[in-house]
Amino acid sequence: MTKSCGHRSSGALRTRGLRTWGTPSGVPVLLLIAVCVLIPSARGTAQGSANFSGMWKLTKTDPPVAAGRGGGGRGGGISGPYAETTFNQAPETIAITQSGSDVTVQIGSAKAVFTLDGRTMSTPPGDVLALKTRAHWDGAALHLHYKQGMNWGRDILSVSGGTLTLVRDLESGGASTTRTLTYSKTS
């Protein structure tokens, strides 16, 4: 048996410094820790920099919406009571209010609040048919997810100057559609 630093050695890793983590040198472990700490904080600073607040007027729809209220329910179109709400296929105007913790989207008289922390909100709380919303950032793009009853939607918002681009995915009754909506800022 040999003695090292006053302890017996059994051939296992020495318990000196950072070598107990199984690396020949503590540098790779410290580097890994530094990378894990710094990368998420760097990602967080780039997210949420876009400001979508304002009144927006529709200027272009691709592909166009079929004639009739809600597109008649064809191709993922929402008809019935949801057609004039958040699930409108191509709203003529959208009002967006953005703060540090949430985004409120108003289409007609319907308002939807999305928290920017990824949590799901239910309005009204506890109601099985409540409007459920959640939001998250993907770089400078804001993703808004919403569900009510059997209707699902996702909007991806990006802004450049006075132009808002909204990629809208809607699904209702098994049919779905994706449209790119372009809006100009009116105020």
> Where do the domains of the chain lie, and which CATH numbers do they carry?
3-46 (no CATH), 54-185 (2.40.128.20)
Contacts of 117 (CB under 8 A, 6+ apart): 101
pLDDT at residue number 156: 97
Question: Of 32 and 15, which is predicted with more confidence?
Answer: 15
The pLDDT tens digits for 136-179 are 999 999 999 999 888 899 999 999 999 999 999 999 888 889 99
What band does 93 get if pLDDT is binned at 50, 70 and 90?
very high
pLDDT at residue number 139: 92
In angstroms, the CA 184 to CA 56 distance is: 5
Cβ atoms of 68 and 78 closer than 8 Å: no
Cis amide bond preceding 64, omega within 30: no
Backbone angles phi, psi at 39, to 5 degrees: -65, -50
In angstroms, the CA 186 to CA 101 distance is: 24
Show the tokens assigned to 18. Answer: 């950072």
- Radius of gyration over alpha carbons of the chain, in Å? 25
Show the tokens assigned to 182. Answer: 């372009």
Comparing C-alpha atoms, which of 59, 86, 85, 80 is closest to residue 68?
80
HSE at residue 127, side-chain half, CA atoms within 13 A, is 12
130 has pLDDT over 80: yes
Instruction: Evaluate the CA torsion angle 85, 156, 181, 140 in order and state its sign.
Output: positive
